[in-house]
């Protein structure tokens, strides 16, 4: 697991107050919403705010494919890395 993915897993757990779960419990390609980790739209907003605060990135809900960026830890890591380079 790369460092950014581990940081994101930790951020998800801490920002959403997920109890009894560790970064190792979250697979990098597992779905974050719905049947996967079970996050919902409120969680998405909280996670988006946490990402903006932690990484200093801008998340525009009007951005095309934004939902796809939040699909899994792997896709979220790719999105964050791209935003940090921009």
- Residue 16 near residue 49, CB atoms below 8 Å: no
What confidence tens digit (pLDDT) does each residue in 6-20 have? 999 999 999 999 999
Q: What domains are there in the chain, each with its CATH number?
A: 3-15+27-85 (1.10.1200.10)
Q: How far apart are CA 20 and CA 75, in angstroms?
A: 24
Could you tell me which residues come within 8 angstroms of residue 46 by beta carbon, excluding any fewer than 6 positions away?
15, 16
The pLDDT tens digits for 19-42 are 999 999 999 999 999 888 999 989
């Amino acid at each position: 697991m790369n460092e950014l993915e581990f940081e994101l897993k930790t951020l998800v757990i801490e920002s959403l107050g997920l109890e009894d779960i560790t970064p190792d419990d979250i697979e990098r390609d597992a779905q974050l919403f719905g049947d996967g980790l079970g996050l919902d739209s409120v969680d998405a907003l909280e996670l988006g705010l946490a990402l903006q605060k932690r990484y200093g990135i801008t998340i525009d809900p009007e951005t095309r494919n934004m939902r796809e960026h939040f699909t899994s830890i792997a896709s979220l890591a790719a999105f964050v890395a791209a935003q940090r380079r921009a």
